């Protein structure tokens, strides 16, 4: 997309009309998508219409189809469900119903339809599109529309956004609502865990997912469940024995509880359903454990959307408008989705077909094929779950290698989950695993102990750093560190932490020239709320911090909505990295987010104040401004607060809040638990391979750049990158990577806050095909 084309974004929609509807089961984050479609549509000059009550509203017409305004989507972002309503609709399945729907659209001049729903809703939309010209000629024959109206609406553009808590749609990594549903489930699992421990109980939890086990699988990884039953992978024939043996083993290792997660669609190899009651009866009969069943039901659809779902909904909404307005009669109906952290457009029917293929494969009992079709991320989750839950740790014999695990930097939620999976995968591989307390300082002082299987029991859901973490760097204590590496026979080091973990890694590389003992493989797992570690798009702990900020902003907005004419200035953490301020701004609907990476002057501050003065004249009489703690040394939070207070006199009041260390605390979100668990497992697998490679003359000697890496999430994959190669990409003075992917989301923040800017810096997705997108995975 050239610069000129982008300048046209502001006029792209002139003379066009878009209708947005939500259909099928509701999902948290649908409102964020509706809000983005409305505001970006209006920004491009298009008229946007709400269709209330899904397809039913499209068929019934009348008051169900109403024009939306900028203000009509205010305060929608933090609401769960769908504000415009959703209904199961029989009428639209009949041609007669679709004829009425077409009539309602043509009469209003709407030729662009954005459908937010599951695969059923999207298939319906595609049928509607393919029949469009026939429907119009029928309407014209019946004299319901004029020839001129028919010509004006000659073709219908359709874009789908997948809103479904099951994450059951092929071609998208995450559907809108999945992350929030996981939040609800994990809140409940955490609550149940405490009571189960009090009474030494076994809990069987049933979660939603008739045909897709995603929620069940990720939940079991996030809470360290003993067993999970999912439809895609039925248990082996003698699973009853295996399950009971597994539960009693967990108890003998000292655990006071067992947790079993069941997807509502769980089946055995013959296709017979496995219900939560069946499992309970089995456990009671064979083991006599006190067992309780909890069926979560519609709780999972409820509650406020998580930060991830709000950002996902907003990004998808923006992309949907662009896809609609760029559409021609020849472009296929597409789905806008997320792959890694890239927005992509995929042909709608290819995705629907693949989703149907999964169901067919399961009905034909071709379970391996169903797993492959679910995609790489699903398979990875399953592999890690199987390792952590089903492999027996080998009997203590002479261990193969000794690996040490440590935390460095400031605490971040999810560090403990990473330590747990690193320790357990290490033990499964037959290694001796040591834990180091208090970072490099503890390594120098010898605060090191051996960790067994149950040492890390129950750590997944605990916030902070249980090993203790310090910002101290290793350089000044190389001698003591080398002595301890020899004393404890440490042959590999897993460092879980923030920017200091990375700079510490660089120092260890330098130290190899002076101390042979430092020639051991090490890997850094990024864990920091700031998300400023080079080599990774995400860090463990960032998602939790983002949700904390988001919840606080929601409460503050509520307070401001009550008092009216009030602007809040909120300071977030992140050092020089503006990730938290930007993403929280997107997720909480901020008017502005000041960050270091995008320099601002007094003129920008003045424009922002003026913008808020204008806003106070509308029905939305409140403002929210975020400021990253180190965005500018002179324009401090106090300065901005004073400026706003002075300039807003008689128009609005200002208030300020510094969020501080609450951003580092709290129980980790499902994303952070799952991400940390997978990173720990991946790091340990790499470590075992590297130690074997580095074995020379009876000892470990690792001196190559690729034996000291950062394990990072890059676009669509987890990759190991030598720390020395990442040096070029780092701004050491400000402790941030030189290039950061999320900066391209900033224009979206501004457009959604009603700034007149060009879209030329925002991301742009091209239509891809699923088969190509999945190359390198199971070929379809």
What is the CATH classification number for the domain harbouring 641? 3.40.50.460
- On whether 735 is known to bind a ligand per the annotation, the reply is yes
List Cα–Cα distances, 587 to 160, 211, 305, 645, in angstroms: 21, 30, 10, 25
CATH code: domain of residue 687: 3.40.50.450
Residue 652 is assigned to a structural domain of this protein: yes
- On whether 75 is known to bind a ligand per the annotation, the reply is no
Q: Residues 410, 559: one domain?
A: no
Q: Tokens standing for 668?
A: 């980790």
How would residue 382 be classed by pLDDT, with cut points 50, 70 and 90?
very high
Which residue, of 360, 386, 406, is where some domain finishes?
360
Q: Residues 197, 320: one domain?
A: no
SS3 of 696, please?
strand
Cα angle vertex 717, ends 715, 721, to 5°?
A: 95
What is the tens place of the pLDDT at every residue in 196-216? 888 889 999 999 988 899 999
What pLDDT sits at residue 211?
87
Dihedral pair phi/psi, residue 670, rounded to 5°: -55, -40
Which residue, of 269, 300, 331, is where some domain finishes?
300
Better-predicted residue by pLDDT, 375 or 541: 541
Q: Residues 226, 322: one domain?
A: no
What is the tens place of the pLDDT at every residue in 692-706? 998 887 788 999 999
> Which runs of E-coded beta strand occur in 648-743?
653-658, 695-696, 699-700, 708-714, 717-722, 730-731, 736-737
Q: Tokens standing for 659?
A: 């969020």
- On whether 118 is known to bind a ligand per the annotation, the reply is yes
Cβ-count burial 717-754 (b if 16+ within 10 Å, e if not) = ebebbbbbebeeebeeeebbbeebbbeebbbbbbbbbb
Q: Residues 567, 674: one domain?
A: no
What pLDDT sits at residue 296?
92
Q: State mean pLDDT over 156-169.
A: 92
Residue 723 is assigned to a structural domain of this protein: yes
Residue 476 is assigned to a structural domain of this protein: yes
- On whether 342 is known to bind a ligand per the annotation, the reply is no
- On whether 109 is known to bind a ligand per the annotation, the reply is no
Q: State mean pLDDT over 656-673.
A: 94
Torsion of CA 314, 317, 321, 326, to 10 degrees: 100
CB 715 within 8 A of CB 721: no
Q: Residues 57, 151: one domain?
A: yes
What pLDDT sits at residue 757?
60
Dihedral pair phi/psi, residue 347, rounded to 5°: -60, 125
User: Residue 590: which domain range?
Assistant: 544-664
What pLDDT sits at residue 509?
97
- On whether 164 is known to bind a ligand per the annotation, the reply is yes
What pLDDT sits at residue 318?
94
Residue with tokens 């994303």: 671
Comparing CA positions, the residue from 78, 70, 7 lying closest to residue 614 is: 70
CB 546 within 8 A of CB 501: no
Q: State mean pLDDT over 306-322.
A: 95
What is the tens place of the pLDDT at every residue in 748-771? 999 999 876 655 434 556 667 654
Percentage of the chain beyond pLDDT 70 is 95
How many Å apart are CA 245 and CA 242, to the nearest integer?
A: 5
End-to-end CA distance of the chain: 31
- On whether 734 is known to bind a ligand per the annotation, the reply is no
- On whether 197 is known to bind a ligand per the annotation, the reply is no
- On whether 300 is known to bind a ligand per the annotation, the reply is yes
Asked if residue 2 has pLDDT above 60, the reply is no
Q: What is the average pLDDT value for the chain, to the nearest integer?
A: 91
What pLDDT sits at residue 614?
92
How many Å apart are CA 340 and CA 543, to the nearest integer?
A: 15
Q: Residues 138, 194: one domain?
A: no
How would residue 773 be classed by pLDDT, with cut points 50, 70 and 90?
very low
Q: Residues 36, 169: one domain?
A: yes
Q: Residues 164, 310: one domain?
A: yes
Residue 10 is assigned to a structural domain of this protein: no
SS3 of 343, please?
strand
Comparing CA positions, the residue from 407, 428, 429 lying closest to residue 419 is: 407
How would residue 359 be classed by pLDDT, with cut points 50, 70 and 90?
confident
Percentage of the chain beyond pLDDT 90 is 76
Residue 377 is assigned to a structural domain of this protein: no
List Cα–Cα distances, 256 to 197, 202, 275, 389, in angstroms: 5, 9, 24, 16
- On whether 713 is known to bind a ligand per the annotation, the reply is no
What pLDDT sits at residue 762?
46
Q: Residues 497, 530: one domain?
A: yes
DSSP per-residue letters across 59-100 = HH-GGGEEE--SGGGTT-TT--S-TT-----SGGGSHHHHHH
Residue 204 is assigned to a structural domain of this protein: yes
Domains of the chain: total? 4
Can you say whether residue 171 is alpha, beta or left, with left for phi > 0 and alpha for psi between -120 and 50 degrees? left
CB 32 within 8 A of CB 82: no
What pLDDT sits at residue 455?
94
Better-predicted residue by pLDDT, 250 or 726: 726
How would residue 431 be classed by pLDDT, with cut points 50, 70 and 90?
very high
Which residue, of 715, 730, 745, is where some domain finishes?
730
How many Å apart are CA 293 and CA 180, to the nearest integer?
A: 22
Residue 579 CB coordination number (10 Å)? 28
Residue 372 is assigned to a structural domain of this protein: no
Residue 162 CB coordination number (10 Å)? 31
Q: State mean pLDDT over 489-513.
A: 97
Residues designated catalytic:
166
- On whether 317 is known to bind a ligand per the annotation, the reply is no
**Chain-centroid distance, C-alpha 350:** 24
Q: Residues 536, 647: one domain?
A: no
What is the tens place of the pLDDT at every residue in 53-101? 999 999 999 999 999 999 999 989 999 999 999 988 899 999 999 999 9
What pLDDT sits at residue 766?
64
Q: State mean pLDDT over 679-688.
A: 96
Residue 757 is assigned to a structural domain of this protein: no
Q: Residues 341, 433: one domain?
A: no
Cβ-count burial 228-257 (b if 16+ within 10 Å, e if not) = bbbbbbbbeeebbeebbebbeebbeeebeb
pTM score, two decimals? 0.93
Element containing residue 401 per DSSP (H, E): none
Q: Residues 448, 534: one domain?
A: yes
Asked if residue 160 has pLDDT above 50, the reply is yes
What pLDDT sits at residue 75?
86
């Amino acid at each position: 997309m050239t610069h000129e084309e982008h300048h046209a974004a502001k006029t792209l929609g002139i003379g066009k009309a878009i209708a947005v509807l939500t259909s099928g089961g509701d999902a948290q984050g649908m409102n964020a998508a509706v809000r983005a479609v409305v505001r970006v549509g209006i920004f491009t000059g298009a008229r946007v219409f709400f269709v209330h009550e899904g397809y039913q509203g499209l068929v019934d017409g009348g008051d169900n189809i109403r024009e939306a305004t900028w203000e009509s989507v205010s305060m929608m972002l933090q609401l769960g469900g769908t504000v415009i309503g959703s209904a199961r609709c029989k009428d639209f399945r009949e041609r007669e119903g679709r004829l009425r729907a077409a009539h309602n659209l043509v009469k209003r001049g709407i030729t662009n339809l954005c459908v937010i729903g599951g695969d059923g809703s999207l298939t319906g939309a595609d049928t509607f599109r393919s029949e469009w010209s026939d429907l119009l000629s029928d309407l014209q024959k019946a004299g319901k529309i004029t020839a001129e109206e028919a010509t004006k609406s000659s073709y219908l553009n359709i874009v789908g956004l997948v809103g479904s808590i099951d994450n059951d749609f092929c071609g998208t990594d995450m559907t809108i609502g999945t992350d929030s549903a996981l939040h609800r489930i994990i809140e409940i699992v955490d609550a149940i865990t405490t009571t189960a421990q009090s009474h030494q109980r076994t809990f069987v939890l049933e979660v939603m997912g008739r045909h897709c086990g995603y929620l069940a699988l990720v939940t079991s990884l996030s809470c360290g469940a003993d067993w999970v039953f999912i439809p895609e992978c039925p248990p082996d024939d003698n699973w009853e024995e295996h399950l009971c043996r597994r539960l009693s083993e967990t108890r003998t290792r000292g655990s006071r509880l067992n947790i079993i997660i069941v997807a509502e669609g769980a089946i055995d190899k013959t296709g017979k359903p496995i219900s939560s009651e069946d499992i309970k009866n089995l456990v009671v009969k064979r083991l006599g454990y006190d067992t309780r069943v909890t069926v979560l039901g519609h709780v999972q659809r409820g509650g406020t959307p998580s930060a991830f779902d709000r950002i996902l909904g907003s990004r998808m909404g923006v992309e949907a408008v662009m896809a609609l307005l760029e559409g021609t009669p020849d472009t296929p109906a597409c789905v806008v989705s997320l792959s890694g952290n890239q927005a992509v457009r995929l042909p709608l029917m290819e995705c629907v077909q693949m989703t149907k293929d999964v169901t067919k494969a399961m009905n034909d009992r071709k379970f391996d094929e169903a797993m492959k079709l679910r995609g790489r991320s699903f398979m990875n989750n399953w592999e890690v779950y199987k390792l952590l839950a089903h492999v027996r740790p080998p009997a203590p014999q002479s261990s193969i290698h000794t690996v040490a695990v440590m935390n460095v930097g400031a605490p971040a939620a999810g560090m403990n989950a990473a330590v747990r999976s690193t320790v357990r995968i290490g033990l499964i591989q037959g290694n001796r695993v040591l834990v180091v307390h208090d970072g490099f300082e503890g390594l120098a002082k010898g605060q090191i102990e051996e960790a067994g299987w149950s040492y890390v029991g129950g750590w997944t859901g605990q916030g902070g750093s249980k090993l203790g973490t310090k910002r101290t760097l290793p350089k000044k204590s190389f001698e003591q560190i080398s002595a301890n590496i020899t004393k404890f026979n440490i042959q590999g080091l897993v460092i879980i932490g923030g920017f200091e973990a990375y700079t510490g890694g660089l120092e260890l590389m330098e130290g190899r020239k002076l101390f042979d003992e430092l020639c051991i493989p090490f890997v850094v797992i990024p864990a920091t709320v700031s998300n400023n570690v080079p080599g990774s798009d995400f860090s463990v702990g960032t998602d939790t911090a983002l949700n904390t900020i988001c919840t606080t902003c929601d409460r503050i907005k509520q307070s401001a909505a009550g008092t009216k004419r009030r602007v809040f200035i909120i300071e977030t953490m992140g050092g020089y990295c503006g990730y938290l301020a930007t993403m929280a701004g997107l997720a909480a609907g901020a008017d502005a987010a000041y960050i270091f990476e995008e320099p601002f002057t007094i003129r920008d501050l003045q424009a922002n104040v003026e913008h808020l003065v204008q806003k106070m004249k509308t029905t939305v009489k409140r403002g929210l401004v975020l400021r990253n703690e180190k965005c500018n040394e002179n324009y401090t939070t106090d300065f901005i607060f004073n400026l706003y207070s002075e300039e807003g006199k008689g128009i609005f009041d200002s208030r300020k809040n510094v969020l501080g260390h609450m951003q580092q605390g709290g129980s980790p979100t499902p994303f952070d638990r799952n991400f940390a668990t997978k990173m720990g497992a991946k790091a340990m697998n790499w470590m075992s391979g590297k130690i074997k490679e580095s074995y020379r003359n009876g000892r470990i000697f690792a001196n190559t750049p690729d034996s000291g890496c950062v394990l990072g999430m890059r676009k669509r994959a987890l990759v190991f990158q030598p720390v020395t190669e990442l040096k070029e990409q780092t701004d050491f003075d400000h402790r941030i990577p030189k290039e950061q992917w999320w900066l391209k989301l900033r224009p979206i923040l501004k457009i959604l806050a009603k700034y007149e800017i060009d879209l030329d810096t925002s991301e742009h997705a091209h239509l891809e095909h699923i088969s190509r997108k999945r190359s390198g995975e199971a070929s379809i």
